[in-house]
Chains A and B, each alone.
Chain A
Amino acid sequence: MAKSLLIISRQAPWSGPSAREALDIALAGGAFDLPLGMLFLDDGVLQLLPSQNARALQQKDLTANLQALEMFGVEDLFACSTSLAERGMSPDALNVEPLNVLQDEEIAALIDRYDQVITI
């Protein structure tokens, strides 16, 4: 049975290449049909803000890639409730779905469910 991998994305969408490169790991794994999950934590939840306009910074729009995760077989998407609240974000107004919003203790349980984890 394939080992499962949880990718924890902690950076804002355009703070550098981290958000993009975390997503690339997920998409690559999805392409190989591997069991993957992705958790948005700390500034990583900022990737989930709706109405982003990457063009204004001449950057690529990550939203399209995030929405493609499901198509690549990465369906287990999670966001940290505390991180959302800290950043003034409502769990009901995110640019990706379906997405599970988790409390802190649920995140501990989430990490336990996966065989490996990468926090990027």
Chain B
Amino acid sequence: MKFAIALYSPAHAPSSRRALLFAQAALAAGHEIVRLFFYQDGVHSASSAVVTPQDELDVPAQWREFVTTHQLDGVVCIAAALRRGVLNEAEARRYSRTAASVAAPWELSGLGQLHDAVQEADRLICFGGP
């Protein structure tokens, strides 16, 4: 089956790790992930600026590694990201902000990408909250 996975919570929320483990299990079972779409506070799960204490699980790093290893399409909603101060280099330059906090493998794009994924996938599964 083809899955579209949408994440609405930041890296420190249990649901971010849960989404990652689900995504890993989906691939392990032979399914395909059409796109990962990070919306609302999910944009923070794509942050390259998060500093995790040494003795804790580095969820943003694990997401990055997962997307890179499997060459997945990892999209962060640009409107949700800007509103939350999650900018890539191009947007940081555009809006004269001092910091960029999202980088490859994540791409900033619009809600059209969520709809596109919903159309292409057999299953949409969302993660958020605790």
Contacts and interface: CB of A to CB of B under 8 A. Distances in A.
Interface of A: 2-3, 5, 17-18, 21, 24-25, 28-29, 31-32, 34, 116-120
Contact of B115 (A18, A34, A119, A120): A34
Contact of B118 (A24, A116, A119): A116
Given A2-B119, A116-B124, A120-B8, A25 B40 contact: no
Contacts of B119: 2-3, 34
A117 B124 CA distance: 8
A118 B126 contact: yes
B21 to A, nearest CB: 21
B30 to A, nearest CB: 22
22 contacts: A2-B119, A3-B118, A3-B119, A17-B40, A17-B83, A21-B39, A21-B80, A24-B79, A25-B111, A28-B111, A28-B114, A28-B115, A29-B111, A29-B115, A31-B112, A32-B115, A34-B115, A116-B118, A116-B124, A117-B124, A118-B6, A118-B124
Contacts of A116: 118, 124
B110 to A, nearest CB: 7
Contacts of B6: 118
Given A29-B115, A31-B112, 7 more contacts: A17-B83, A21-B80, A25-B114, A28-B111, A28-B112, A34-B119, A118-B126
Contacts of A31: 112
Closest 8 CB pairs of A and B: A28-B111, A116-B124, A29-B115, A116-B118, A3-B119, A21-B40, A32-B115, A34-B115
A31 B40 CA distance: 20
Nearest to B128: A120
A99 B126 CA distance: 26
Contacts of A18: 40
Contacts of B112: 28, 31-32
Contacts of B118: 3, 5, 116
Nearest to B8: A120
B81 to A, nearest CB: 12
